[in-house]
């Protein structure tokens, strides 16, 4: 016959439950540290790619998405009739537009979307677009390879026209019939840069410190669980006796 009291049975379960909780939170801490290690490797890869020689049009088409963050130097012609102004894009604490224009690469069939820079919005007339100097003929641009333009939350289907909230390259390729490469270029303020556009692009973020913060929280929770068990089940009963 089991003569143990409910309190004794409860105490017998506390140690296994505490050990399970400590193991779980310690495992989550280790997982976050592993994620931080992966992000450090990614950061090193981005830095290494940024220091590699600039790609030309042939190199850009060859590496594709594997060349993200590589520097590029491209020659081509702007297809200004297909320019899109992405609204509600901030830069330097102000809200405005990102100008995205297809660039037809010289001597090649491909076209690449170029994020050319930022311009402020007219607060009096939200549909008024910034005025830029006319550009014709061949141009040479410098920049770095990037993924698709940042996407903002949007209700309903993506709109059309010159001003849009988001731009999906695949859908835009179908809309325009252009042979777009599956990447974009962030144009930098060097040769071929259009006056009147800001290009203070943020550095690629990998959020390493976020994972260290999460790891510290899980580690603290693991220590807290173990400390509470030791205090209430070991030290406090001894002091009472």
What are 37-76's pLDDT values in tens digits? Answer: 888 887 777 777 777 888 888 888 777 667 778 889 999 9
**What pTM did the predictor assign?**
0.71
**Confidence at residue 202, expressed as pLDDT on a 0 to 100 scale:** 77
Please determine, for residue 113, whether its predicted confidence score (pLDDT) is greater than 90: yes
59 Cβ neighbours under 8 A, 6+ residues apart: 67, 72
* pLDDT confidence tier of residue 7, bands split at 50, 70 and 90: low
Residues 170-199 have a mean pLDDT of 84
Q: What percentage of the chain has pLDDT greater than the value 70?
A: 88
Residue of higher predicted confidence among 125 and 113: 113
Tokens matching residue 233: 């089940």
Tokens matching residue 221: 């929770």
Of 16-25, 31-40, 51-60, give the lowest mean pLDDT range: 51-60
* pLDDT confidence tier of residue 112, bands split at 50, 70 and 90: very high
Domain ranges of the chain: 47-187, 207-241
Residue of higher predicted confidence among 200 and 156: 200
Q: What percentage of the chain has pLDDT greater than the value 90?
A: 28
What are 86-103's pLDDT values in tens digits? Answer: 998 888 888 899 999 999
């Amino acid at each position: 016959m089991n003569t143990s009291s409910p309190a004794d049975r409860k105490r017998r379960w506390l140690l296994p439950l505490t050990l399970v909780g400590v193991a779980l939170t310690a495992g989550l801490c280790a997982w976050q540290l592993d994620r931080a290690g992966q992000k450090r490797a990614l950061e090193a890869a981005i830095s290494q790619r940024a220091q590699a020689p600039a790609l030309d049009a042939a190199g850009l088409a060859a590496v594709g998405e594997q060349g993200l963050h590589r520097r590029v130097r491209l020659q081509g012609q702007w297809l200004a009739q297909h320019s899109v102004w992405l609204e509600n894009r901030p830069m330097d604490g102000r809200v405005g537009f990102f100008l995205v224009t297809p660039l037809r690469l010289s001597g090649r069939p491909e076209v690449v979307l170029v994020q050319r820079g930022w311009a402020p919005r007219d607060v009096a007339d939200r549909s008024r677009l910034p005025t830029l100097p006319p550009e014709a003929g061949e141009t040479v641009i410098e920049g770095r390879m990037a993924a698709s333009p940042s996407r903002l939350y949007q209700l309903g289907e993506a709109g059309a026209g010159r001003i849009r909230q988001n731009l999906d390259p695949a859908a835009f390729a179908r809309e325009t019939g252009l042979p777009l490469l599956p990447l974009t270029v962030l144009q930098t303020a060097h040769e071929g840069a259009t006056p009147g556009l800001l290009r203070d692009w943020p550095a690629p973020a990998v959020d390493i410190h976020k994972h260290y913060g999460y790891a510290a929280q899980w580690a603290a929770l693991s220590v807290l669980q173990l400390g509470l068990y030791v205090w209430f089940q070991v030290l406090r009963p001894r002091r009472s006796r």
